[in-house]
Amino acid sequence: MAGPMHCYRHPKRETRVSCATCGRPICTECMRPTDVGIKCPEDARLPRGARAGTMKPNQILWSFLAGLAVALVGIPVVYVILTLPFQWLISAAAGYGAGTLVNRAGGRNGGTLAISISVVATAIPFLVRLAPPVLAGGNVSPISIAAMIFAAVAAGLANRQL
Ligand SMILES: [Zn+2]
Ligand SMILES: [Zn+2]
């Protein structure tokens, strides 16, 4: 069994806690509780920018929920859009809106996961609309397929970190 460690900032104080990031032992006075465990004051103070692209578990959950909402709400929307003129343009705008929603739900981190969720969630309603005729051996308008691609790309672009 390992003996007690000593706080790296107060060498005389014994502790059994160490920083989740750097592993240095820290005493109760020095420990800082964070979302990802107890940290030393230096690591707890790291700027948000240093963690860009990583989402907290609840942000990941919200991203998935937003993606699910986009996919469900998107189905009737896509049915309407694909009957309109300039459907590719409207699809791109709708996809951008959907991507923005997922991005905000995920704490605006714009990570790979947020981009993936946005793209997939945006493409699902189009697949629901376009897959049955294809499976039935029918033809799908190339414009409709272009609309799906525009929407998915726009959803991904909405997650770019500016
Ligand atoms: Zn540390
Ligand atoms: Zn200390």
Whether residue 137 contacts residue 126, with contact meaning beta carbons closer than 8 Å, is answered with no
Going by C-alpha positions, the residue among 26, 111, 40, 105 that lies closest to residue 70 is: 105
Q: Which amino acid is at 95?
A: G
Any idea where the domains of the chain sit in the sequence? 5-46, 51-157
The pTM of the full predicted model, rounded to 2 decimals, is: 0.65
- Report the percent of the chain where pLDDT is more than 90: 65
Query: What would the pLDDT profile of 106-122 be if each residue is shown by its tens digit?
Result: 888 778 889 999 999 99
Report how far residue 80's alpha carbon sits from residue 69's, in angstroms, rounded to the nearest whole number. Answer: 17
61 Cα to the center of ligand 1, angstroms = 27
Q: Give the mean pLDDT of 62-83.
A: 95
Residue 62 — pLDDT band, cuts 50, 70, 90? very high
Nearest-ligand number for the alpha carbon of 19: 1
- Model confidence at 72: pLDDT above 90: yes
- From residue 4, alpha-carbon distances to 16, 34, 116 in Å are 6, 23, 45
Whether residue 26 contacts residue 7, with contact meaning beta carbons closer than 8 Å, is answered with yes
- Please give the angle made by the CA atoms of 143, 149 and 152, to the nearest 5 degrees: 140
- Model confidence at 36: pLDDT above 90: no
11 Cα to the center of ligand 2, angstroms = 8
59 Cα to the center of ligand 1, angstroms = 24
3 Cα to the center of ligand 2, angstroms = 17
